Structure 1
Amino acid sequence: MSPRQKVLIVDDEPDIRELLEITLGRMKLDTFSARNLGEAQALLSRETFDLCLTDMRLPDGTGLELVQHIQQRHPNVPVAMITAYGSLETAINALKAGAFDFLTKPVDLTRLRELVSSALRLPAPGGTGIAIDRRLLGDSLPMRALRKHIDKLARSQAPVYISGESGSGKELVARLIHEQGPRANQPFIPVNCGAIPSELMESEFFGHRKGSFSGAIEDKPGLFQAAHGGTLFLDEVADLPLAMQVKLLRAIQEKAVRGVGEQQETVVDVRILCATHKDLDAEVAAERFRQDLYYRLNVIELRVPPLRERRDDIESLASHVLKRLAISTGQPAAKLHPQALDALKSYRFPGNVRELENVLERAHTLCENKQIEASDLRLAEGNCNPEGGVPDLTQIDNLEDYLENVERNLILQALEETRWNRTAAAQRLNLSFRSMRYRLKKLGLD
């Protein structure tokens, strides 16, 4: 018979301690109680715990101090903070300090049981490294740091804002955070916020009742309900209109949603991860993104480095892509000529890993005798100077052709980042839509 798991309860109120002890006892867990910070630290030095539940306010200190103590001396022990109702700033500070999650008083017992069950399913720290290595390729310093952050964030329920350029792998990072955490066996629901028509957003996120609007021919659960118990990944969250941002903020704060046409709210247990290639700070400053939602989503920021910041990984990434192409086509893997590899390493890759995959897929198709030459890559000359300085004039045969090529690649990048929304791409390039149409036609991109 396996030993029962142990939980440390830290609270100076006897009624709260008793409530938690009874509830956890019914979950077949052993509990130890402390009335203050000193007693808690003493128990931690003598016993090995699987979870700690602590009040924020203690007679001789704060729950944040206990979180920091456990992070430094007992990093295997997840900590959940119990805060007064409405103390959202306190809860966010606890999450930033390393707390697993938080509860508000009065304690909801259903929510308590869900939190405890989730925390006790956590894998051991560092035990997920091999799985992450297989999915997130590269041995450069930025990638080693990224893997460590993923491993740590997987052990938390804090909302994470994943920043990074288009094509850098933000959704893969979100999936890894989900798959290495206690919600791994529950749904991972990715949603592209920029791809949902504004008039359908509320229904898509929260669901609707049959007959609640024209076309609602049956009851439909929303994305929050589909992600219940798991993770909801909001990609391109900066593209949400302001009206939807208000409703999303309430759903996150209340942990409940109300579908279109519904009278009652539905409680949802969802971890929120979000991403965008835009600068959210700039979006907030321009009043296109709500500051209160920004602070709720950006509890912890995780930056995914662009490919140009980890050029040492290009060779291993290219080898992986070519092997995958060989398997999919049933042909021998093509080899990169040393000059082709040098060309890849000197290229800026505005489209990041996704662009590298596209370049190699094209070269794999066009090359002769399974040998990829530099000319097979067809890299845009305007992005072939890794230092970002003035291009070498000896490499430019015709200035007009060179500038046209640069213009074409910038427009293609904007179109790809906006999923070929021409209006949005024009705005990104600070062009009028009429000017954008003219350039598309001139460059043969219409």
Structure 2
Amino acid sequence: MKRTASQRVLVVDDEADIRELLDLTLTRMGLVVTTAGSVAEALAALDGAGPFDLALTDMRLPDGEGLAVVEAITRRNLDLPVAVITAHGSTENAVAAMKAGAFDYLQKPVSLAHLRALVGGVLRVERPARTEGGARLYGESPAMLEIRALIERVARTQAPVYIRGESGTGKEQAARLIHASGPRAAGPFVPVNCGAIPDSLMESEFFGTRRGAFTGADRDREGFFQQASGGTLFLDEVADLPLSMQVKLLRALQEKKVRRLGATSEEATDVRILCATHKDLAAQVSGGAFRQDLYYRLNVISLTMPPLRELREDLPRFVDMLLERYGVSGPRPRLTPAALQLLLGYNYPGNFRELENIIERAVALATGPEIGPDALQLLPVEDDVPSPPALAGGESLQDYLDRVEREVLLKALDTTRYNRTQAAKRLGISFRSLRYRLERLGIK
């Protein structure tokens, strides 16, 4: 789609307060906004006020469903991406809209950080670095709602953030969302894989070089700190930094100055530091592999990304989203009940990254419109891990997930004699998350 200097967005919602909030937020992003309060007004805007570069529509409108707006855009063959706004828990409506042509959805109450990230993923607002890589974290489970709420708070600060979590849990996506939601969003986001840089090149890669610093250095070269000036420097796998580099990094953070290799003077830096690792950084400190003073400098605010096995209720949406993404040629592929059963019961040691690989491979290997268990090629499950119960006849996917979750919660409560704190620890979730799940399922 061709982008213009004044990109236009159509906002469709019957609540005047929400229209005003979205209008104000999008206008501040440099966009031109047209609002509509009904399906009829939206269709009139499409016919008369267009063309638009993006459309956002509520699913429930006074004269019909937002799905009618999505379908109208599809029928008109408009080169117009559309996202829908749904009430909390109305995932089925969102999935129906995505099948009709919508590319994503927002849940009410609308998170402005999520809104900005979603819009920035489609339109080039401010600088491309703002939405580089798609600064989004999907999921509506309690754990993901907590993470997004925390990100929204820490994004407003300039404090260093330490993001921990297993491989494949979306640590870099979290870092990008912190950057895109904060005051440095217009600046660059520079990700660095600390484990991929040879020790001999560490200093020059981080701090830059002066011409003539060594053989072959025929020009001045910026390091990561200079490249990230005015923005965010993300140190991924920070635990892999050698001790010698940790000393230099600590000084750069303390003094807010760096010295290029071969230079005689220091230069000021202006970066926000975010870091992540799949290792236990506190254990690395105890073992002497990571400096304690650097650990405290980086770990001002900590954020833990939940593994996919704790986001079971989000699995259907993740799977549906990935099937939509990878099934780009021909009809959208479908999972057989047996294949879906396997995906719902799998433990995902590689987390979301592994799920992406599983779905992409399955779509490629499928010989027809349906994907069977063989195409999934899941890793063997340990013998002591019980198989999930089977889908009952006529049982919906959400009912099945609720039933499995209820059984797991009741077993944990029974084992701990209904000590909720101990049950939460046993399940590896927060007490708040346990309480939310019990209330949702009506367990007293």
Verify same fold: TM over 0.5.
Answer: yes
Query: 1:184, CA displacement in angstroms?
Result: 0.5
Aligned to 2:294: 293
Query: 1:390, CA displacement in angstroms?
Result: 5.1
Aligned to 1:373: 372
Q: d(CA) in 2 for partners of 1:152 and 1:224?
A: 25
Q: d(CA) in 1 for partners of 2:223 and 2:289?
A: 25
Paired residues in the alignment total 262
Please give the residue correspondences for 1:235-314 in structure 2 after superposition, counting only pairs within 5 Å: 235-314=236-315
Name the TM-score, length of structure 2 as normaliser.
0.57
* AA partner of residue 213 (structure 2): S
Q: d(CA) in 1 for partners of 2:154 and 2:138?
A: 19
Aligned to 1:354: 353
* AA partner of residue 278 (structure 2): H
**Does residue 334 of the first structure (1) align with residue 319 of the second (2)?**
no
Deviation string, structure 1 residues 252-300 (Cα, Å, up to 9, x no partner): 1111100111111110110000000000011001100000000000001
Contact 2:339 2:376 in 1 (8 A): yes
Aligned to 2:115: 130
Contact 1:367 1:376 in 2 (8 A): yes
* AA partner of residue 354 (structure 1): R
Aligned to 1:343: 342
Quickly say closer, same or farther: Cα 1:390–1:362, change in 2 above 3 A. closer
Q: d(CA) in 1 for partners of 2:167 and 2:313?
A: 20
Quickly say closer, same or farther: Cα 1:364–1:233, change in 2 above 3 A. same
Quickly say closer, same or farther: Cα 1:128–1:391, change in 2 above 3 A. closer
Query: 1:314, CA displacement in angstroms?
Result: 1.1
Q: Which runs of 5 or more structure 2 residues have no equivalent in the other structure? A: 1-109, 119-134, 388-444
Deviation string, structure 1 residues 35-78 (Cα, Å, up to 9, x no partner): xxxxxxxxxxxxxxxxxxxxxxxxxxxxxxxxxxxxxxxxxxxx
Q: d(CA) in 2 for partners of 1:195 and 1:137?
A: 28
Q: d(CA) in 2 for partners of 1:236 and 1:194?
A: 6
Contact 2:117 2:180 in 1 (8 A): no
Quickly say closer, same or farther: Cα 1:319–1:177, change in 2 above 3 A. same
Give 3-state SS (helix, strand or coil) of 1:232's partner: strand
Q: d(CA) in 2 for partners of 1:314 and 1:146?
A: 17
Q: d(CA) in 2 for partners of 1:341 and 1:176?
A: 30
Aligned to 2:186: 185
Contact 2:114 2:136 in 1 (8 A): no
Give 3-state SS (helix, strand or coil) of 1:208's partner: coil
Q: d(CA) in 1 for partners of 2:335 and 2:145?
A: 25
Q: d(CA) in 2 for partners of 1:264 and 1:182?
A: 30
Deviation string, structure 1 residues 302-332 (Cα, Å, up to 9, x no partner): 00111011111111111111111123xx222
Give 3-state SS (helix, strand or coil) of 2:327's partner: helix
Give 3-state SS (helix, strand or coil) of 2:352's partner: helix
Quickly say closer, same or farther: Cα 1:171–1:355, change in 2 above 3 A. same
* AA partner of residue 268 (structure 1): T
Please give the residue correspondences for 1:56-135 in structure 2 after superposition, counting only pairs within 5 Å: 126-131=111-116, 135=136
Quickly say closer, same or farther: Cα 1:378–1:126, change in 2 above 3 A. closer
**Does residue 363 of the first structure (1) align with residue 348 of the second (2)?**
no
Give 3-state SS (helix, strand or coil) of 1:128's partner: helix
**Does residue 227 of the first structure (1) align with residue 228 of the second (2)?**
yes
Larger deviation: 201-210 or 368-377?
Answer: 368-377
Contact 1:364 1:370 in 2 (8 A): no
Q: d(CA) in 2 for partners of 1:209 and 1:375?
A: 56
**Does residue 214 of the first structure (1) align with residue 218 of the second (2)?**
no
Aligned to 1:324: 325
* AA partner of residue 361 (structure 1): E
Query: 1:126, CA displacement in angstroms?
Result: 4.9
Identity over the aligned pairs, expressed in percent? 56
* AA partner of residue 164 (structure 1): G
Deviation string, structure 1 residues 324-357 (Cα, Å, up to 9, x no partner): 1123xx2222112222122111111111111001
Please give the residue correspondences for 1:374-389 in structure 2 after superposition, counting only pairs within 5 Å: 374-382=373-381, 389=384
Q: d(CA) in 2 for partners of 1:381 and 1:319?
A: 23
Give 3-state SS (helix, strand or coil) of 1:316's partner: helix
**Does residue 166 of the first structure (1) align with residue 151 of the second (2)?**
no
Query: 1:130, CA displacement in angstroms?
Result: 2.8
Query: 1:213, CA displacement in angstroms?
Result: 1.6
Query: 1:196, CA displacement in angstroms?
Result: 0.5
Query: 1:215, CA displacement in angstroms?
Result: 2.7
Aligned to 2:195: 194
Rg: which structure is higher? 1
Query: 1:135, CA displacement in angstroms?
Result: 2.2
Contact 1:132 1:147 in 2 (8 A): no
Query: 1:224, CA displacement in angstroms?
Result: 0.1
Q: Which runs of 5 or more structure 1 residues have no equivalent in the other structure? A: 1-124, 393-446
Q: d(CA) in 2 for partners of 1:158 and 1:238?
A: 19
Q: Which of structure 1's runs of 4+ aligned residues deviate more than 6 A?
A: none
Give 3-state SS (helix, strand or coil) of 1:191's partner: strand
